[in-house]
Amino acid sequence: MTRHNWLPPIHLHPVFWGFLLLAILTGMLMEVLLLFVIVLLHELGHFLAARHFRWRIRRIMLWVFGGVMETDEHGNRRGLEEAIVILAGPSVHLVLYGVIYGLTATSVPEAVLETALMYNTNILLFNLLPIWPLDGGKLIGLILSLQLPYRKAHTLLILTSWVIGAAALLYVCMAMPFTLSTVSLLCFLMWENRLEWKRRYYVFLRFLLQRATYGPIGGISTPIFATSKTALLDVLSQYRRNRRHMIVVKEKNAVLDEQQCSDMYFKRKQVRCTVGDILRQNRQ
């Protein structure tokens, strides 16, 4: 798809074309197109907010029932900034309520407006579920990462999403009329969380690498207490977003800057060293 300066690259997942063909064959084309437009506007809401804060945006990937804006920002933006980007998507649905209401005075068929209203509400409420990678889950992840070390927060987010997702799937299967689309979406979310669990160490390293490259954002300084025998990876695992760290080694009456630890891990490739090893190299 052609890229314009005011639009990100937009890619359509192969699943979309399958649903589009099925919609044509079953006479559901209008419903699928309405759903697609709402999802596209939702993702463009995220995009406009991210563009305002000069995020590095790779692309928008769209399915039929949802989409995702892929960026090169990995947990190192300010908390308020990220919250605005997350909430910009759901905020679009509030605007759409006004648009749909305004169209009631036009010649647009009532059935179309009722369908648009239903889809707009369903997508809004579904996206606010506290399950990663939905907006509700991302908001929970942001809150956790502001209170806990990034690695621990991300792990806790995936575990929480699994529990909530499993509970939601059980409720839908046992207490509600069976709906294939809802069950499929919940199963898809469970699968995505499984994949995220498998790549959690990669997500953690990506956070560290971006932090080491561009530096931590935020003026709050939080000390990390360690001993000379503390493994470097254990120190890095205590890094928190929007915080600057000094590593305090009381027994040696020494202080390390976090950049020294990051450089030891990424530039010198001393992934198995200890805090004591870093202190000894600094004396040389």
| Catalytic residue list | 43
In angstroms, the Cα distances linking 217 to 21, 77, 260 are: 47, 7, 17
Residues 206 and 252 sit within 8 Å (Cβ to Cβ)? no
Residues 222 and 216 sit within 8 Å (Cβ to Cβ)? no
Q: How far apart are CA 124 and CA 145, in angstroms?
A: 24
Report the DSSP beta bridge partners of residue 257.
246
Which tokens sit at 18?
């399958």
